[in-house]
C-alpha cells in the first residue's frame, strides 16, 4: 500500500519474517498481462528473496479479474498452501464495467478470507488509466506484487504465531 508515509515495499527486510517453510499459491489474471506479468515477477522475486523455495510457489493463470475468486478458491481446495496471492489489474474505461469488476473481485476475495483458514492477499490494481497501473507494477510507486508477497509472508507468520 502506498501512502504519504511510504510504501509497504519500503519495509526493512529485518522486519519481514523468514519464509523458508512457506508454500504459496499465486493466481494471476491474464487480462492486462503486461501489468499482471510484472506483478507476478515482483511477487515471485520477493518470495524467493525471503526464503521461499521456488518449488513451493504455485502459479495459476485465469482469463480475467472476475475469475480470480474462483481460481483462488480452487487453489485453496486443491493445493496444500499457506497463503494465496491474487494478482490482477482493472483499468477504468468509459462504462460502469470497471465498478462491477472491482466490486465483484473485492467481495469475492474478502469472502474467501472469511471462509478458509489461510490468508488470501488482494493484489489487484484498480486504476484510472494505464499510467497509474504501470507506476504500481514496477514504476515510481513500487511493485504491488512485491507488496502482496510481503503481506503474504507477514500474514503466514501471524497465523503461525497464533497457533503457538
Choose the catalytic residue: 10, 20, 70, 97: 97
Burial of 59 (0-12, 13-18, 19+ CB in 10 A): middle
Nearest to 82 by CA among 160, 154, 7, 22: 22
- CA-based radius of gyration for the chain: 15
Nearest to 29 by CA among 76, 83, 85: 85
**97 is an active site residue:** yes
Q: Which residues are catalytic?
A: 97
Amino acid at each position: 500500500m502506498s501512502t504519504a508515509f511510504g510504501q509497504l515495499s519500503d519495509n526493512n527486510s529485518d522486519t519481514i519474517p523468514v519464509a523458508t517453510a512457506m508454500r504459496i499459491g499465486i493466481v494471476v489474471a491474464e487480462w492486462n498481462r503486461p501489468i499482471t506479468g510484472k506483478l507476478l515477477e515482483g511477487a515471485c522475486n520477493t518470495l524467493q528473496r525471503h526464503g521461499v523455495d521456488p518449488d513451493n510457489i504455485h502459479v495459476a493463470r485465469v482469463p480475467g479479474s472476475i475469475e480470480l475468486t474462483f481460481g483462488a478458491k480452487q487453489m485453496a481446495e486443491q493445493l496444500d498452501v499457506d497463503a494465496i496471492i491474487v494478482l490482477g489489474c482493472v483499468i477504468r474505461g468509459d462504462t460502469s464495467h470497471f465498478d462491477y469488476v472491482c466490486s465483484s473481485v473485492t467481495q469475492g476475495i474478502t469472502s474467501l478470507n472469511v471462509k478458509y483458514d489461510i490468508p488470501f492477499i488482494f493484489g489487484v490494481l484498480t486504476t484510472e488509466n494505464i499510467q497509474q497501473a504501470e507506476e504500481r507494477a514496477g514504476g515510481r510507486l513500487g511493485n504491488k506484487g512485491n507488496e502482496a508477497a510481503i503481506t503474504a509472508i507477514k500474514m503466514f507468520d501471524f497465523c503461525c504465531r497464533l497457533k503457538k
